Copies of this chain bind each other. A is one copy, B any other.
Amino acid sequence: MLDPVSRVRRFNRAVTSAVGALDTSFLGRGRPLGAARVLNAIGHGRADVGEIRDYLGLDSGLMSRLLRGLEDEGLIQTAAHGDDARRRIASLTAAGKREFNAYEAISNRQAKDFLAHNSQREALLAAMDLIASALGRDGTTLVEMDPRSDEARYCLGEYYAELARRFRQGFDVKLSRDPDAKDMVRPRGSFIVAMSDGLPIGCVGLKGGGELAEIKRLWVAPAARGLGLGRRLMDAAETAARELGIAVLRLDTNSALAEAGQLYRRTGWTEIPRFNDDPYPDLFFEKRL
């Protein structure tokens, strides 16, 4: 009655009808779903016609007609791509933006209603994050970013908050050896953020330069753990280190972060003696590239 497969399928049935409800409310704006989806894709920043076609899985003929329809409605305009005149770039007109905002309002309202009707708000959100990360794993991309970007700062904030929760003595960034942002930007180092559908869900920093560099700030959102993202981030950081001509990597961590320690041991890192006087770490690793 309650085997795992039945539970997954029960979930599928529940969300299928919820998804259907959103589609129905989209129809309320008097436009077929196909056209509404194209308009929303453009509104969400997809400009390249071919990319939209792939994203929505449409035939090129159908896509072309939907674009023509939206143009006739005065909601979008298309222009040739600067580098390649075969390709077309679509964008919203002022009227298109208004219409797009109306669809956004429908989606936002639905999401808000769902939250408002449930007292277990935080638990629900955490569950949704977990499932979205698991479903969207193949769509998770690693992007090199400035550590001062919004996305990076969000990740770092979550990282520090988690350390504060997990270290018995708490955590205060000021007491730790906080790397200068410039050390984590090329050509000295690198900072990589994992993005899943527009949301930052993990990060890692590479603090250079010279032959010896340090891995810092490896963090994976709770909702995305167990999906191999930590390993992907570490691989990406190592690749960046190789590109920068770095021969030896070091890192420090704390034995309270058990998953991290396991990951390092399993991926070719060896424990070495303490190499700094930071008060928080109690475990030190090295890896030769």
Q: In the complex, identify which listed stretch (A4-12, A71-79, A238-246, A275-283) lies at the interface while the others stay far away.
A: A4-12
Cα distance, A73 to B150, chains bound together (Å): 58
Nearest neighbor of A227 in chain B, beta-carbon distance: B118
Docked complex Cα distance between A16 and B37 (Å)? 12
**Contact at A199–B131, with CB atoms within 8 Å?**
no
Range class of the A interface residue count: 35 or more
Q: Are B11 and A123 in contact (CB under 8 A)?
A: no
Q: Which 10 A-B residue pairings sit nearest by Cβ, starting from the closest? A: A120-B226, A127-B127, A8-B111, A11-B128, A14-B132, A14-B135, A119-B226, A15-B15, A5-B111, A11-B132
Indicate with 1 or 0, residue by residue over A1-36, a CB within 8 angstroms of chain B CB atoms: 110111111111111111100100000000000000
Within 8 A of B (CB), among A152-170: 154
Nearest-neighbor residue (CB-CB) of A8 within chain B? B111
Chain B residues with CB under 8 Å of A6's CB are: 199
Q: Using known A-B contacts A16-B19, A118-B227, A136-B14, determine if residue A1 contacts B150 with beta carbons closer than 8 Å.
A: yes
B227 touches A9 (CB 8 A): no
User: Chain B residues near A127 (CB, 8 Å)?
Assistant: 126-128, 130-131
Residues of B within 8 A of A10 (CB): 128-129, 132, 196-199
Chain B contacts for A134, CB-based, 8 A? 114, 118, 120, 124
Q: How far is the CB of A77 from chain B (nearest CB, A)?
A: 26
- CB of B151 within 8 A of CB of A9, answer no
Q: Are B124 and A131 in contact, with the CB atoms below 8 A?
A: yes
Residue from B16, B120, B228 in contact with A227 in the complex, judged by beta carbons closer than 8 Å: B120
A254 within 8 A of B: no
A108 at the interface (CB under 8 A from B): yes
Residues of chain B contacted by A1 (CB below 8 angstroms): 150-151, 154, 199-200
Q: Mark A92-132, 1 if CB is under 8 A from B, else 0.
A: 00000000000000011011101101111101111111111
Q: List 30 A-B contacts (CB under 8 A).
A: A2-B154, A4-B121, A5-B112, A7-B132, A8-B114, A8-B115, A9-B111, A10-B196, A10-B199, A12-B18, A12-B22, A12-B110, A13-B197, A14-B135, A14-B136, A14-B197, A15-B18, A15-B131, A16-B19, A19-B19, A114-B135, A118-B227, A119-B226, A120-B130, A120-B225, A120-B227, A123-B226, A127-B130, A128-B131, A131-B131
Nearest CB on B from A125, distance (A) = 5
A146 to chain B, nearest CB (A): 16
A124 to B268, CA, bound (A): 29
Residues of B within 8 A of A17 (CB): 135
Binary interface encoding of chain A residues 221-263 relative to chain B, with 1 for a CB under 8 A from any of its CBs, else 0 = 0000111100000000000000000000000000000000000
